[in-house]
């Protein structure tokens, strides 16, 4: 029968049980739909599952949100559009349409300040969004103000300057002469309530379930609706007592300043947690009581004080304050871990601690399932990468925990949406090469073009090799007010590619019409090049189109065409593309254009702002309450009960979140019951989370500095909970405080020894971390190798003949040689293949060195070097203009002077004895190669750079080969020239040279089976200090560490990805490092005669 029925309980399970009884015992007619109003899709799923479990079926039910449900009711009074015409989205465009014509009117001075220097219309759009949001709040929370404006009046706060311009703007967007078209929520509500008694076909029964708060607007509608139909309000009330006047301390202080008598100033906060965090719920409780007139049917259930958690829940239920009672009234046992608060050093450590904690909970309770756990956080997108990194990469398959992540942004899960936004922004971002590669790397894009992954690798190489960095061409740069250099633009690179494909390359630096052909594209690669050129042409043409202002409808058409042109549409991309199209068609730009009447043209900046907001909105509650642990954002109405509730990111300043209402909002002038307050909503959400935990409530926050380990305070809500516990409870044995029991300070590293001692608070399930802790605890320095057991010997004949260049490569980096040649592992290629984002403004040391080497070769061979400048300029290597020319002259001077220095030593070249094939002392192993730097004075090496250990090692190996081969020449010595110094390796006895070569060969063969602990720079620094400078090994290791580890000024050898994979950070402390360093460098140092 019609009426408004209130059911209140502290347990959502009891409310859903009551709902299931009503549905089961009082079924609606077969064709009637059971309507249950909710405020989150997660709640709808939970109710469906619970009703199905209790009634064996859940069918013919709908779960609308309040706003669309009420709008559907309004349609029964008068035909209305499918979409409310006065919605924030539509009002934004209406305001943007109207505001420019009003901006010069009296009263609009403050508004005009917001849009000063608004060249692209973005400020106007953003202001319109804010005003539309405020107007939307007025419709729900201040309908009386809107009604006054509709009748050309002012609110009770008449005289406020902000109201004058807002009223004029409102009247402008809703009608002329102050006459509203009466299609907004405030007018529709009044019309509906007046017509309620005449309406037919209303739902037979309406249930409002689990809603913690609603504005008076909705309560008025539901109260009126109850005259015609059965309306059941299932209200989750945290307290069974009358707590309308359970004020918090701030409110009590504010009341004390109002001049009330002492008798009237008697306030009791009741329970401090409830009064502090429950403002939203308290106001709704008062609103409901005033609307219904009684407390309704009480379905409260006493909470058994079996744990600290249930004791606090009981205090809140019974409006008891633990701080005002004897702490001994509830004693906490040592085993009570129902409430835990974790202080960590970083978000990553929070997730690592979470993983171990969940494993512990599952171990202790076999009935606990992953779906019984919810993990909430202020922003799930912040933590999602860490969750995936930790939960997906466990070191033991038995420790894997299934999980789902809900509330992710559309653009985080929809890669096509990300690429779509990148395409629109490409012109604004100056057509950077890396951005274009990112677009091409999207599967939906390269499949549309008919390309494969191997084609993308080629295109990436071509772009990098031809020097493309950014910009279309020189004219594009000129339009930006920059010098019109064509170098390093796309046109520059494409000219090189196309000419190189058409013309065979004769000389590395030979130009044709000032273009240097790029000769790496041939044969079938021409198809890939053609597709790439066409793709760029389309993108550049699009850049020009997107600069033009257009109407919303034209923009919708443009963007729809972009989606069609750039992305393949098939079963794999259908859902992602639909999400984009929804922002453009009737549900997006096109629909808003039709409904708002917006007829002005706008820029790409405005369109991007609209799209980014839409595509960065959450994708709903996909993944909420599935088979695994649920990770989700802290959102209102998430009071669904879970056995374990875990909250991450409760950091000071991050939660409750800070929201600033616009200064022109009239709602701030006079607060009313159930006004929207995001900060109070966050506080109430934390309270609801605490109350929805059935067994365990855990909070985590970054409470220790990762830099200096200093304490960082938690969220004020966590601090209040800690104070409440510390002031109202005590431990059973009195050996520890409540604070020590509840709060756990976790260690910086997951492999800390503390996690593997007998402790209930600190523990770990990680095998890898246990091994690391054991090593650390033993005090022994051990070098971890990439392979625990050496690989088998190479197959017979595979390495029987070692090429001299291979032999030298091994000693440049034994770890890289092993991984590449025995395991076919290539590392560190991705970043090096990415083209730069800007043209060269200078050259690094390696680039200068390579050019100087080419210039030196030209000087030695007697060639002119001036032609090289044109080739280098055309290659895009040099900085543009005079700076590039000046830099080239500097390098040319260095090369010329160096040539003059070494010329006397490289006369009378020997060319008839340079081939060698040496049988080593290792059975079946020989070293062969060509000694190409032989002169009558000796073997000569040179390079226009400071000599380093790698140069000396190579020269030493060649010197050993020279003397072991016994080549006839005036002197079998080796000279090595560098930029600043030179050295000589003395002539050696042939047998001694063979012996030393055999020693190095043994190390080489060992390095084919396992990584050898030899790294040139660090090993040389150690050996030099100990052997040449007579320092102790301790000081030698200190010198080695400076080369091994990075500092603020240089990169260490440990940063090499091959070394990092093969060795631990403390590798150079092991005996093998010292032995190999002495084996390589001791004989070399003995043979160095003197400097030239």
Give the pLDDT of residue 64: 95
CA distance 40 to 212: 12
Q: Is the pLDDT of residue 1025 over 60?
A: yes
Which H or E run includes 696? strand 693-702
CA distance 470 to 430: 6
| Contact by Cβ (8 Å): 1073, 1067 | yes
The distance in angstroms from the start CA to the end CA of the chain is 110
CA distance 426 to 442: 15
Are both 3-76+204-238+278-300 and 326-408+622-662+674-748 of the same fold? yes
| Contact by Cβ (8 Å): 391, 403 | yes
1087 CB contacts (<8 Å, ≥6 apart)?
A: 956, 959, 985, 986, 988
SS3 541: helix
Nearest 5°: the CA angle 396, 398, 403 is 100
Cβ atoms < 10 Å from Cβ of 925 = 18
HSE-CB for 293 with a 13 A CA cutoff: 4
Class of the 88-189 domain? Answer: mainly alpha
Span 902-960, pLDDT tens digits: 888 888 888 777 788 998 888 888 999 999 889 988 899 999 988 999 999 999 999 99
- State the residue for tokens 């041939």: 522
Q: Starting at the edge strand that comes first in sequence, how are the strands of the sheet with 926-930 ordered?
A: 801-803, 926-930, 915-919
DSSP state of 79: -
Cross-strand partners of 697: 339, 645
Q: Is the pLDDT of residue 600 over 90?
A: yes
Taking residues 303-325, report their average pLDDT. 86
| Contact by Cβ (8 Å): 1054, 949 | no
Task: Indicate the pLDDT class of residue 1090, thresholds 50, 70 and 90.
Answer: low
Please tell me the least confidently modeled range out of 17-26, 219-228, 605-614, 841-850: 841-850
Please tell me the least confidently modeled range out of 377-381, 382-386, 849-853, 1046-1050: 1046-1050
CA distance 414 to 309: 40
CA distance 1072 to 1066: 12
Taking residues 151-167, report their average pLDDT. 80
**In 426-489, which residue ranges form alpha helices assigned H by DSSP?**
433-440, 443-449, 453-465, 474-479
Span 212-246, pLDDT tens digits: 889 999 999 999 999 999 999 999 999 998 887 66
Please tell me the least confidently modeled range out of 566-580, 821-835, 964-978, 1055-1069: 821-835
The full 3-state SS of 336-386, as one line of letters, equals CCCEEEEEECCHHHHHHHHHHHHHHHHHHCCCCCHHHEEEEECCHHHHHHH
DSSP state of 714: B
DSSP state of 621: S
HSE-CB for 880 with a 13 A CA cutoff: 15
Q: Is the pLDDT of residue 251 over 60?
A: no
Higher pLDDT, 264 or 153: 153
Span 876-906, pLDDT tens digits: 888 888 888 899 988 998 899 999 898 888 8
Q: Is the pLDDT of residue 813 over 70?
A: yes
CA distance 751 to 769: 4
CA distance 483 to 507: 30
Q: Is the pLDDT of residue 677 over 90?
A: no
- State the residue for tokens 């009581």: 289
Q: Is the pLDDT of residue 255 over 60?
A: no
| Contact by Cβ (8 Å): 371, 588 | no
CA distance 607 to 753: 55
CATH match of 3-76+204-238+278-300 with 3.30.930.10: no
Q: Give Cα 483 distance to the centre of its chain.
A: 36
**In 752-903, which residue ranges form alpha helices assigned H by DSSP?**
767-778, 804-812, 814-822, 830-833, 845-861, 866-875, 881-902
Please tell me the least confidently modeled range out of 260-274, 621-635, 778-792: 260-274
Span 846-872, pLDDT tens digits: 888 888 888 888 888 877 777 788 888
Closest C-alpha to 867, from 509, 503, 354, 409 = 509
Span 175-194, pLDDT tens digits: 744 444 577 888 889 899 99
Task: Indicate the pLDDT class of residue 799, thresholds 50, 70 and 90.
Answer: confident
Task: Indicate the pLDDT class of residue 55, thresholds 50, 70 and 90.
Answer: very high
65 CB contacts (<8 Å, ≥6 apart)?
A: 37, 38, 39
DSSP state of 141: H
Please tell me the least confidently modeled range out of 49-58, 244-253, 330-339, 983-992: 244-253
Instruction: Write the DSSP string, 182-220.
Output: S-SHHHHHHHHHHHGGG--S--SEEEEES-----HHHHH
Q: Which two tokens stand for residue 355?
A: 């993983």
CA distance 261 to 247: 17
Taking residues 673-690, report their average pLDDT. 91
Q: Which two tokens stand for residue 469?
A: 């960095």
Mean pLDDT over all residues of the chain?
87
Taking residues 635-650, report their average pLDDT. 87
| Contact by Cβ (8 Å): 630, 375 | yes
CA distance 269 to 248: 6
Angle (deg, nearest 10), helices 453-465 and 433-440? 170
Give the pLDDT of residue 615: 84
CA distance 629 to 8: 29
Spans of all domains in the chain? 3-76+204-238+278-300, 88-189, 326-408+622-662+674-748, 411-615, 785-1010
Q: Is the pLDDT of residue 263 over 50?
A: no
Angle (deg, nearest 10), helices 308-317 and 678-692? 120
Class of the 411-615 domain? Answer: mainly alpha
SS3 290: helix
Which H or E run includes 239? none
Please tell me the least confidently modeled range out of 28-37, 75-84, 164-173: 75-84
CA distance 416 to 444: 7
Q: Give Cα 1060 distance to the centre of its chain.
A: 25
Q: Is the pLDDT of residue 160 over 90?
A: no
Cross-strand partners of 4: 231
Q: Which two tokens stand for residue 533?
A: 């050129």
CATH match of 326-408+622-662+674-748 with 3.40.50.300: yes
| Contact by Cβ (8 Å): 737, 726 | yes
SS3 848: helix
CA distance 279 to 249: 12
Which H or E run includes 976? strand 974-977
Give the pLDDT of residue 157: 63
| Contact by Cβ (8 Å): 919, 926 | yes
Task: Indicate the pLDDT class of residue 780, thresholds 50, 70 and 90.
Answer: low
Closest C-alpha to 158, from 672, 661, 673, 670 = 670
Closest C-alpha to 977, from 1047, 1049, 898, 920 = 898
Closest C-alpha to 226, from 5, 383, 408, 405 = 5
Report phi then psi at 330, rounded to 5: -140, 120
Instruction: Write the DSSP string, 995-1025.
Output: HHHHHHHHHHHHHTTS--S--HHHHHHHHII
Taking residues 290-312, report their average pLDDT. 85
Asked if residue 656 has a cis previous peptide bond (ω within 30° of 0), the answer is: yes
Nearest 5°: the CA angle 565, 571, 572 is 80
| Contact by Cβ (8 Å): 373, 643 | yes
- State the residue for tokens 């706008």: 602
Closest C-alpha to 648, from 344, 312, 338 = 344
CA distance 131 to 137: 10
- State the residue for tokens 């200078």: 842
CA distance 784 to 1063: 5
């Amino acid at each position: 029968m019609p009426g408004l029925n209130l059911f209140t309980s502290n347990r959502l399970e009891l409310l859903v049980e009551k709902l299931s009884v009503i549905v089961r015992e009082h079924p609606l007619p077969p064709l009637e739909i059971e309507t249950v109003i909710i405020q989150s899709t997660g709640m709808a799923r939970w109710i469906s599952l619970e009703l199905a479990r209790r009634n064996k079926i859940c069918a013919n039910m709908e779960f609308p949100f309040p706003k669309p449900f009420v709008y559907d009711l309004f349609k029964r009074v008068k035909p209305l559009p499918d979409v409310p015409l006065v919605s924030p989205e539509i009002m934004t465009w209406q305001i943007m349409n109207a505001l420019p014509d009003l901006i010069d009117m009296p009263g609009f001075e403050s508004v005009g300040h917001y849009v000063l220097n608004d060249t692209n219309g973005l400020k106007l759009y953003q202001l319109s969004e804010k005003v539309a949001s405020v107007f939307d709040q007025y419709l729900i929370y201040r309908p009386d103000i809107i009604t006054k404006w509709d009748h050309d009046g002012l609110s009770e706060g008449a005289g406020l300057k902000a109201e004058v311009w807002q009223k004029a703007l409102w009247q402008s967007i809703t009608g002329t002469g102050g006459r509203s078209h009466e299609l907004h929520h405030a007018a529709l509500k009044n019309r509906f309530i007046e017509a309620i008694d005449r309406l037919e076909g209303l739902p037979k029964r309406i249930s409002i379930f689990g809603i913690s708060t609603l504005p008076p607007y909705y309560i008025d509608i539901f109260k009126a609706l109850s005259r015609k139909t059965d309306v059941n309000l299932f209200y989750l009330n945290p307290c069974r007592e009358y707590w309308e006047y359970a004020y918090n301390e701030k409110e009590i202080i504010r009341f004390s300043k109002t001049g009330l008598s002492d008798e009237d100033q008697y306030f009791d906060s009741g329970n401090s947690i409830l009064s502090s965090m429950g403002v939203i719920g308290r106001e709704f409780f008062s609103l409901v009581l005033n609307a219904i007139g009684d407390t309704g049917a009480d379905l409260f259930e006493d909470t058994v004080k079996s744990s600290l958690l249930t004791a606090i829940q009981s205090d809140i239920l019974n409006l008891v304050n633990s701080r005002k009672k004897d702490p001994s009234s509830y004693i906490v046992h040592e085993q009570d871990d129902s409430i835990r608060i974790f202080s960590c050093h970083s978000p990553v450590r929070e997730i690592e601690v979470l993983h171990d904690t969940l494993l512990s909970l599952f171990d202790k309770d076999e009935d606990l399932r992953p779906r019984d756990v919810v993990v909430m956080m202020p922003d799930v997108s912040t933590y999602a990468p860490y969750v995936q990194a930790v939960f997906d990469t466990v070191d033991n398959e038995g420790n894997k925990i299934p999980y789902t992540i809900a509330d992710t942004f559309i653009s985080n899960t929809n890669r096509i949406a990300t690429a779509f936004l990148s395409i629109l922004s490409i012109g604004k971002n100056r057509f950077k090469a890396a951005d274009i590669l990112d677009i091409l790397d999207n599967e939906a894009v390269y499949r549309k073009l008919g390309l494969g992954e191997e084609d993308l690798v080629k295109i990436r190489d071509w772009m990098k090799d031809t020097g493309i960095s950014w910009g279309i061409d020189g004219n594009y740069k000129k339009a930006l007010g920059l010098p019109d250099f064509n170098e390093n633009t796309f046109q520059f690179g494409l000219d090189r590619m196309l000419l190189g494909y058409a013309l065979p390359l004769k000389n590395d630096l030979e130009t044709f019409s000032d273009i240097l052909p790029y000769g790496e594209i041939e044969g079938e690669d021409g198809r890939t090049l053609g597709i790439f050129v066409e793709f760029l042409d389309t993108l550049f043409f699009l850049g020009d189109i997107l600069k033009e202002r257009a109407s919303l409808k034209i923009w919708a058409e443009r963007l729809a065409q972009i989606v069609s042109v750039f992305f393949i549409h098939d079963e794999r991309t259908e859902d992602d593309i639909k999400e984009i199209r929804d922002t453009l068609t009737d549900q997006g730009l096109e629909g808003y254009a039709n409904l708002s009447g917006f007829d002005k043209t706008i820029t790409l900046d405005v369109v991007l702002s609209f799209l980014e907001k839409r595509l960065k909105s959450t994708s709903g509650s996909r993944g909420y309450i599935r088979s695994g642990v649920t990770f989700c954002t802290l959102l209102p109405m998430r009071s669904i009960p879970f056995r374990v509730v875990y909250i991450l990111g409760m950091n000071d300043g991050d939660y409750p979140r800070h929201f600033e209402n616009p200064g022109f909002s009239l709602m701030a002038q006079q607060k009313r019951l159930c006004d929207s307050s995001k900060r109070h909503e966050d506080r109430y959400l934390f309270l609801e989370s605490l109350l929805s935990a059935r067994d365990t409530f855990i909070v985590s926050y970054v409470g220790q500095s990762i830099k200096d380990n200093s304490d960082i305070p938690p969220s004020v809500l966590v601090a209040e909970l800690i104070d409440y516990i510390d002031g109202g409870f005590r431990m059973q044995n009195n050996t520890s405080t409540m604070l020590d029991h509840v709060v756990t300070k976790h260690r910086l590293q997951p492999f800390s020894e503390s996690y593997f001692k007998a402790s209930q608070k600190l523990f770990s399930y990680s095998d890898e971390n246990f091994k690391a802790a054991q090593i650390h605890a033993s005090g022994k320095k051990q070098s971890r190798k990439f392979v625990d057991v050496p690989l088998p010997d190479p197959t017979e004949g595979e390495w029987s003949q070692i090429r001299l260049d291979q032999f030298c490569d091994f000693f440049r980096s034994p770890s890289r040689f092993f991984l590449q040649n025995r395991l076919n592992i290539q590392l560190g290629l991705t970043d090096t293949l990415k083209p730069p984002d800007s043209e060269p403004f200078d050259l690094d040391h390696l680039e200068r060195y390579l050019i100087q080497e080419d210039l030196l070769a030209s000087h030695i061979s007697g060639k002119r070097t001036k032609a090289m400048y044109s080739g280098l300029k055309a290659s895009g290597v040099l900085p543009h203009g005079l700076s590039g020319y000046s830099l080239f002259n500097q390098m040319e001077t260095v090369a010329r002077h160096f040539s003059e220095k070494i010329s006397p030593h490289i006369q009378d070249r020997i060319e008839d004895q340079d081939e060698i094939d040496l049988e080593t002392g290792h059975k079946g192993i020989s070293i062969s190669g060509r000694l190409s730097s032989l002169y009558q004075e000796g073997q000569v090496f040179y390079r226009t750079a400071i000599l380093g250990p790698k140069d000396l090692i190579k020269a030493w190996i060649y010197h050993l080969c020279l003397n072991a081969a016994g080549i006839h020449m005036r002197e079998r010595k080796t000279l090595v020239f560098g930029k600043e110094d030179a050295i000589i390796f003395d002539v050696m006895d042939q047998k001694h040279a063979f012996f030393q070569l055999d020693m190095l060969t043994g190390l080489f063969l060992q390095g084919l089976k396992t990584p050898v602990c030899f790294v040139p720079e660090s090993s040389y620094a150690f050996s030099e200090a100990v052997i040449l400078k007579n320092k102790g090994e301790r000081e030698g290791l200190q010198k080695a560490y400076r080369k091994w580890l990075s500092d603020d000024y240089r990169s260490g050898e440990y940063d090499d990805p091959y070394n990092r994979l093969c060795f631990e950070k403390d590798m150079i402390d092991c005996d093998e490092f010292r032995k190999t360093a002495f084996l390589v460098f001791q004989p070399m140092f003995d043979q160095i005669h003197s400097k030239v």
